[in-house]
């Protein structure tokens, strides 16, 4: 399956309660009062543009840029993953969306899990976590790699199963290098002291009652496969779908298989017997 062109229908800034401004990309049209919220990881919103566009063939899709990424403003007080989770629940309120599937890659999956724990308006209908971080590993060998001490090329090596998807950092302009470094600085602020997880999150996930699909690139060198299985097992209605020949970004390396897993999840768990 070829990757569809990733062109948003619109890009705009939304002001949320409390005054926070969030830049969002919208794919498709909001005609039914529901949709998909797609949350990017530390590599930025471009890593989820393809899947956002593909999902827009079936639903209205909203992809925010986390404040502080790609040059967007981040208020000094806005500095945790929980802040992001609450902001995106405010976004769902502002857009008046219900029955939303929240799709999150890497730290975006962590944000999605935190959202589900705080969704007192019942806006979320399901979660899909793509090689998510956020929980503490039970075993040392299953821990998430801390990329803060690694070079971009080493991180890329662990993040992609196939060399053809790895960025050629030697070809980057000074502007691109500076933007990447700024994004990583912002990610470190949100991650806090533990950076890749909240030690208490796993013990809270039994309170998430919506269906959850955990999709995992089998060759992830950042967050290993057993970590992903443990993530799925932490939810009372968790489901696990390993994706061969993919690593930390299955939505890039194996978009077709990732979309297929989401489609099966919707058709058999979220809306069994209904339209996918």
In a domain, 275, yes or no: no
Residue range 172-220, pLDDT digits in tens: 999 999 999 999 999 999 999 999 999 999 999 999 999 999 999 999 9
In a domain, 3, yes or no: no
* C-beta neighbour count of 236 within 10 angstroms: 13
In a domain, 5, yes or no: no
Distance separating alpha carbons of residues 261 and 215, to the nearest angstrom: 8
> Residue 231, SS3?
helix
Dihedral (Cα; 199, 66, 39, 173), 10-degree rounding: -110
**% of the chain at pLDDT higher than 90:** 90
| CATH number reported for the structural domain that contains residue 148 in this entry | 3.40.50.1820
Residue range 27-40, pLDDT digits in tens: 999 999 999 999 99
Per the prediction, the chain carries an average pLDDT of 94
Distance separating alpha carbons of residues 28 and 249, to the nearest angstrom: 23
Please compute the mean of the pLDDT values over residues 139-149 and round it to a whole number.
87
Sign of CA dihedral 34, 40, 46, 51: negative
- What residue numbers bound the domain in which 148 lies? 10-19+32-270
In a domain, 26, yes or no: no
In a domain, 27, yes or no: no
Strands (E), 93-206: 100-105, 124-130
In a domain, 25, yes or no: no
Please compute the mean of the pLDDT values over residues 49-69 and round it to a whole number.
97
pLDDT of residue 9: 83
Tokens matching residue 160: 């992609």
pTM of the complete model: 0.95
> Residue 194, SS3?
coil
Report the alpha-carbon angle 9-42-175, nearest 5: 80
In a domain, 256, yes or no: yes
In a domain, 196, yes or no: yes
Provide the number of structural domains found in the chain: 1
Please compute the mean of the pLDDT values over residues 146-171 and round it to a whole number.
93
pLDDT of residue 276: 43
């Amino acid at each position: 399956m070829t990757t569809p062109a990733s062109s948003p229908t619109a890009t705009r800034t939304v002001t949320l309660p409390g005054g926070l401004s969030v830049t969002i990309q919208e794919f498709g049209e909001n005609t039914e009062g529901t949709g998909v919220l797609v949350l990017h990881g530390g590599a930025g919103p471009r890593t989820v543009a393809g899947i956002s566009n593909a999902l827009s063939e079936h639903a209205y899709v909203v992809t925010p840029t986390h404040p502080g990424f790609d040059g967007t403003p981040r208020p000094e007080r806005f500095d945790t993953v929980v802040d992001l989770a609450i902001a995106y629940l405010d976004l769902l309120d502002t857009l008046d969306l219900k029955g939303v599937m929240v799709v999150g890659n890497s730290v975006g999956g962590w944000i999605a899990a935190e959202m589900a724990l705080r969704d007192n308006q019942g806006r979320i209908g399901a979660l899909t976590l793509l090689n998510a971080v956020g929980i503490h590993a039970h075993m040392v060998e299953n821990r998430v790699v801390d990329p803060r001490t690694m070079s971009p090329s080493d991180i890329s090596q662990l993040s992609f199963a196939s060399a053809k998807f790895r960025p050629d950092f030697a070809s980057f302009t000074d502007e691109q290098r500076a933007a990447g470094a700024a994004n990583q600085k912002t990610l470190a602020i949100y991650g806090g002291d533990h950076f890749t997880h909240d030690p208490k999150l796993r013990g809270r996930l039994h309170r998430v009652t919506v269906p959850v699909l955990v999709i995992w690139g089998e060759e992830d060198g950042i967050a290993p496969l057993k970590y992903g299985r443990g993530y799925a097992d932490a939810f009372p209605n968790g489901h696990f779908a390993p994706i061969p020949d993919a690593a930390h970004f299955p939505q890039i390396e194996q978009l077709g298989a990732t979309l297929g897993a989401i489609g099966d999840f919707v058709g058999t768990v979220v809306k069994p017997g209904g339209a996918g």
